[in-house]
Amino acid sequence: MFSKHHLPLLLLSFLSFAAFAETNLSLAEALQKQLVKATFSGAKDDTAHVMQSSHWGPCMSLEVTNQSSEALSLSLAYGYRLLPDDTNVQTMLVTQSLMVRLAPRQKKNYRVYAMCSEAGDAAPGSEKKFKMGKRASGHLLGLAELIERKKYQNSTAQDAVWCLTDNRDLHTIADDDTTLMYDLRRYVARAKGLPEASIYGSPAAPAAEPQRTYSTRTVYSGSLSYSVSRTARVLVALFDEANHMKTVYVNNETQREGSYTYHYELSSEDMNHQKHYLRLFRDGKLEEEIAILP
């Protein structure tokens, strides 16, 4: 039995626990209860100027402010959609869960892993704002779960998302890591009701990259078109599978507002049986990528 001398110590312990107790909610619940204010946008470049994709990976930023007088522990689960204010920009799909802890009235910034879900729309620039939408369902939610569980935060998983959302060909999911590739192909094939055997074989050439055959020599050609809404530093270059820069079309030039198109043409000798990528970097950030498949 506790004596009266123990009561102050017990009271102090209780008050200390209460001071650090947190309310656990999902971010969606906290927003609905107006406990927090949250703003999503495309992520800005790292201070180290590391080139990263604006389509997938930690490509989104979250600024969240606790508007309440209580400490909050919030969760943002994989599978939630982030809806752009600009309808010309892609809706983003969260592909990695995030935990947010906020003291009363505290504001924090986080990076959010996500992937694009509308291949025909623009990537999320840092000036583009988003709001939290509903969670995906069905096969798309299952794919987000697979990406998080297997840590497939890469361009191949992005292709798998587009296979579901934009009905792209199964064989656009291509990677040197065959375990990763067949995991993703198998999931998408089952989602689309395709036979198991369809996951094997080589990629078909995309319509945007037609092949012209002259004797035994194949030519791969196509074009990259984009618009600049404000003056930016632009790099357009061709890379091989090992990420070596092979051809530079635009060498970090400052381009003004307007529309631009660059054509590429590679022979089978140039390709050397390797996948190549035509990439557009705007102010050091990867914005567009075209895979050229042998």
The per-residue pLDDT for range 186-204, each reduced to its tens digit, is 999 999 999 989 998 755 4
pLDDT of the residue at 69: 95
What gap in Å lies between CA 157 and CA 183, rounded to an integer? 10
Q: Which of 161, 156, 130 is nearest to 144 (CA)?
A: 161
Band of the pLDDT at 205, cuts 50, 70, 90?
Answer: very low
CA atoms within 13 A on the CB side of 285: 20
Residue 198 is encoded by which pair of tokens? 């369809």
Instruction: Please say whether the structural domain 211-292 has been given the CATH code 2.60.40.
Output: yes
Residue 243 is encoded by which pair of tokens? 């990420």
Q: Which of 93, 15, 35 is nearest to 59 (CA)?
A: 93
Q: For 255-268, what is the mean pLDDT?
A: 77
Tell me if residue 161 falls in helix, strand or coil.
Answer: helix
What gap in Å lies between CA 278 and CA 257, rounded to an integer? 22
Q: Are 66 and 31 in contact (CB under 8 A)?
A: no
Is 199 or 261 the better-scoring residue by pLDDT? 199
What gap in Å lies between CA 164 and CA 142, rounded to an integer? 11
pTM: 0.64
Tell me if residue 13 falls in helix, strand or coil.
Answer: helix
What gap in Å lies between CA 72 and CA 21, rounded to an integer? 9
Eight-class DSSP state of 251 = E
User: Is residue 139's pLDDT more than 70?
Assistant: yes
User: Is residue 212's pLDDT more than 50?
Assistant: no
User: Is residue 208's pLDDT more than 60?
Assistant: no
User: Is residue 268's pLDDT more than 80?
Assistant: no
What gap in Å lies between CA 119 and CA 242, rounded to an integer? 25
> What is the rounded average pLDDT for all residues in the chain?
84
Domain ranges of the chain: 22-199, 211-292
